[in-house]
Amino acid sequence: MNLVHQLINRKSSNALTQVLIFLVSFLLALVVGGILLALQGHKDILSVYYYLLIQPLTTGNGIAKVLVQTTPLIFSGLAVAIAFKCDVFNIGVEGQLYAGALAAAYLGYALQGLPRLVHVSICILGAIVVGGLLALLAGWLKVRFGVHEVISTIMMNHMISNIVTLLVVDYFRNDGPTARTPTVQDSARMLSLSGSSQLNSGLIIAVLLCVVLYIVFEKTPFGWQLNAAGKNLRATTYCGVDAKRLILIAMLISGALAGLLGAERVLGGFGYMQVNFSPGYGYDGITIAVIAGNNPFGCLLMSLLMGLLCTGGTQLNVMTDIPSEWVDMLSAFIFVFVVAANAVMLKLPELKEKRLSRERRLAK
Amino acid sequence: MISVASVICNTFASATPIALGGIGGMFGERSGIVNIGLEGTMLFSAFTSVVACYYSGSAWLGLLAGLLTGLLISFLHAFFCTTLKVDHTIIGLAVNILASSVTVYASSSIFGNKGFTPSVEKLPTISIPFLRDLPLVGAFFGSMSLITLMVIPIVILAHHLLYKTPFGIRVIAVGENPQAAFVAGINVQRTQYIAVMLGGLTCGLAGSFLSISYLSMFVRDMVSGRGFIAIAAILFGRYKPVGILLAALFFGFADAIQIALQGIITIPNEIIQCAPYALTILAVTVNEARSKKK
């Protein structure tokens, strides 16, 4: 009873409610996904979920693979979250990360003879600047002209994808069958954390960023301003906050994180930039940030889960005939259910109010 | 050389889904519901059209399936936006994310191919007497897509519905000021539901056009930004049906020029392909700057 009370009275325990909402949505998504498989004639649904959720975690190699998938997702989730925080939708992470990746790859193979720390830093800086500026452009169009950022960033995604492909294929191409840049210098590689997988120091940066952003969001005036602007932009402006500047800064940081994602994939993961390497990290970031309610640690946990789903999905694809898109669909379901559940939770006090007033009327 | 006839054909073909999607989104926007999910709605409809067409062998049933899908998705959109009061952009994004994963999964489990479906029967094309004998545009009128033919009547109908009927006035009233509309005795939620679902129908039509008229199959993420260009057309067309049609023709023309220029001039194709997207951003920017001045 106490639990139900807490659920209805959101103020008492917001984090707990969010976790419960997520768990229920997650289970519901698994049930719906299972039903779909059963309809297709799959008999052993439980073993499907075993391969998806448990099996990758049973070996060290599997855990490393999960963490490799998790790293870019953390960056993406944080990138979307910081813009969401002040009610701006950066749908352009997908484009910004490609631009950042190309910048990192170019600086990585073109510069030579630098010490490792300097070289890696320059590459990352390049990626951050390119990603950040692209997002800033969308932010500037929004505050200067009122162009909705969803439209501008989506259009920019299409353009960046075209241009980056052109640059890689025609200008920065490595000789070989795949469309990719030359491999970056050894001095530009991020530290590897395990010999056999792509796991690298990018994960440490990502986790540290979660901590930093948590502190920024919760403990600094800037975080307060972001939060306030997201809740009520006009009221925040009356408090003397320059909302336009705030949006520009949020977009800049968001794009920078997207660029960092690209740099991590190139310098830590592949060692080169390949055309169309992202399986949709930018869009996964939206799912992660919304489900996590823009909480950096929530983003971290959600990225771990999505990383697990991604790894398990590949595994599933090998072991059974279930396509990896089934897993993408699962995360889309979780997203929709969380949104719906949150909406219903917001609606509950109103319904309760209605019931009470009806009871009062009847009592009279 | 650039073929004028093919530019004209491509202009109308490219403009069709943008105009229909734009008209669809407009009804929602006018009633105060922002629909970022046009893209996903079109994708869902394009897919169900092909599935229905594949199993029934009839393109007409495919069209019906596309329309019903548009109706269903827009009903859900309206339910989340008006009844549950979810942030409109978030639920639009949810539709898009859901559409791109569900259609690919369904495609692979039904047809065993993630990238594209088998080819299905197309909707019939129409040959218009006299007009087909005209120079330049003759080729276009000689085999005109049925859905392209429907665009003009739909725009006229939408214009009439919005400005000349009590329903249209109610939609506008609800969009401009829901409280005032409510006080005037208008059922705000019902008006929004009808407006959004009406828009869902034309959105569904746009999806069907892409998969069973323009092409004859479903291709992964085949809408490729048209839903968002349709939103730009709504803004550029100032939320008016005729304006949206003109904006769609403008974007369609840009696309046709882009197709015609490929391989002719020395600029790489990838850069030329950027043109419609760049133009969309530019058009929205100019439009917003202009409306700010007033």
Token pair for residue A245? Answer: 């500047």
Query: What chain A residue is nearest to B274 in terms of C-alpha separation?
Result: A159
Chain B neighbors of A179, CB-CB under 8 A: none
Return the DSSP state at A274.
Answer: B
Token pair for residue B87? Answer: 């942030």
Burial pattern B248-258, b for ≥16 Cβ within 10 A else e, equals bbbbbbbbbbb
Measure CA of the first residue to CA of the last residue in chain B; give whole Å: 43
Q: What is the pLDDT of residue A282?
A: 94
Model pLDDT for residues B91-135, shown as the tens digit of each residue? 999 999 999 999 999 998 889 888 888 999 889 888 888 777 777
Model pLDDT for residues A308-349, shown as the tens digit of each residue? 999 999 888 888 888 888 998 999 999 999 998 888 888 888
Counted domains in chain A: 1
Q: What is the pLDDT of residue A3?
A: 46
- What is the nearest CA distance from A344 to chain B, expressed in angstroms? 7
CA A5, CA A175: separation in Å to the nearest integer?
Answer: 65
The interface residues of chain A toward chain B in range 120-179, judged by CB-CB distance below 8 A, are: 141, 145-148, 150-152, 154-156, 158-159, 162-163, 165-166, 170
The residue of B38, B76, B91, B97 whose CB has the most chain A CBs within 10 angstroms, and thus the best one to mutate to test that interface, is B97
Q: Write out the residues of chain B at the interface with chain A, using a CB-CB cutoff of 8 A.
A: 36, 80, 84-86, 89-91, 93-94, 97-98, 100-102, 104-105, 108-109, 114, 224-225, 228-229, 231-232, 235, 268, 270-271, 273-274, 277-278, 280-281, 284-285, 288-289, 291-292
Structural domain for A215, as ranges: 3-363
- Name the H helices within chain A: 2-8, 14-39, 45-49, 60-85, 93-110, 116-145, 149-166, 202-219, 221-231, 233-238, 243-263, 281-291, 296-319, 325-363
CATH code (residue A329)? 1.10.3470
CA B181, CA B186: separation in Å to the nearest integer?
Answer: 5
Token pair for residue A48? Answer: 């499907």
3-class SS at B144?
Answer: strand
Q: What is the pLDDT of residue B252?
A: 94
Residue with tokens 């259910």: A337
Mean pLDDT of chain B: 91
3-class SS at B125?
Answer: strand
- The verdict on ipTM greater than 0.90 is no
Contacts of B195 (CB under 8 A, 6+ apart): B27, B28, B30, B31, B33, B171, B174
Within chain B, what is the greatest distance between any pair of CA atoms? 62
Chain A neighbors of B273, CB-CB under 8 A: 162
A165/B108 Cβ within 8 A:
no
* β-pairing verdict for B144-145 and B125-126: antiparallel
- Name the H helices within chain B: 4-30, 38-56, 59-78, 88-111, 138-142, 146-164, 166-176, 178-183, 188-209, 226-236, 241-261, 269-293
Chain B neighbors of A145, CB-CB under 8 A: 285, 288-289, 292
User: pLDDT category, B50, cuts 50, 70, 90?
Assistant: very high
CA A242, CA A245: separation in Å to the nearest integer?
Answer: 5
Compute the Cα dihedral for B98, B104, B105, B107 and give only its sign: positive
Mean pLDDT, rounded, for B24-42: 94
Mean pLDDT, rounded, for B251-268: 86
Q: What is the pLDDT of residue A234?
A: 81
- Which regions of chain A are under pLDDT 50? 1-12
Hey, what long-range contacts does B219-224 have (CB within 8 A, 24 or more apart)? B219/B115, B219/B116, B219/B117, B220/B103, B220/B104, B220/B107, B220/B114, B220/B115, B220/B116, B221/B43, B221/B100, B221/B104, B222/B43, B222/B46, B223/B17, B223/B39, B223/B42, B223/B43, B223/B46, B224/A158
Mean pLDDT, rounded, for B280-287: 90
B85/A159 Cβ within 8 A:
no
B4-124+137-289 homologous superfamily: ABC transporter involved in vitamin B12 uptake, BtuC (1.10.3470.10)
CA B124, CA B105: separation in Å to the nearest integer?
Answer: 29
CA A105, CA A173: separation in Å to the nearest integer?
Answer: 11
- B268 burial class (0-12, 13-18, 19+ CB within 10 angstroms)? middle
Chain A neighbors of B268, CB-CB under 8 A: 166, 170
Question: With contact defined as beta carbons under 8 Å apart, do B146 and B126 qualify?
Answer: yes
Burial pattern A26-51, b for ≥16 Cβ within 10 A else e, equals bebbbebbbebbeeeeeeebeebbeb
Q: What is the pLDDT of residue A7?
A: 43
Torsion of CA A304, A305, A310, A316, to 10 degrees: 130
Chain B neighbors of A335, CB-CB under 8 A: 94, 97-98
Model pLDDT for residues B202-227, shown as the tens digit of each residue? 999 999 999 999 999 999 989 988 99
- What is the nearest CA distance from A138 to chain B, expressed in angstroms? 10
CA A296, CA A302: separation in Å to the nearest integer?
Answer: 10
- A155 burial class (0-12, 13-18, 19+ CB within 10 angstroms)? buried
CA A227, CA A232: separation in Å to the nearest integer?
Answer: 9
- B294 burial class (0-12, 13-18, 19+ CB within 10 angstroms)? exposed
Q: What is the pLDDT of residue A80?
A: 96
For residue B116, give Cα distances in angstroms to B39, B120, B207, B217. Answer: 18, 11, 15, 7
- Count Cα atoms within 13 angstroms, Cβ side, for B4: 4
> Which residue in A155, A328, A339 is closest to B277 by CB distance?
A155
Chain B neighbors of A343, CB-CB under 8 A: 80, 84-86
Model pLDDT for residues A142-194, shown as the tens digit of each residue? 999 989 999 999 999 999 999 999 999 888 888 888 889 999 999 999 988 88
> Which residue in B97, B278, B284 is closest to A335 by CB distance?
B97
Mean pLDDT, rounded, for B31-36: 93
- Count Cα atoms within 13 angstroms, Cβ side, for B280: 31
Q: Has residue B84 got a pLDDT over 90?
A: no
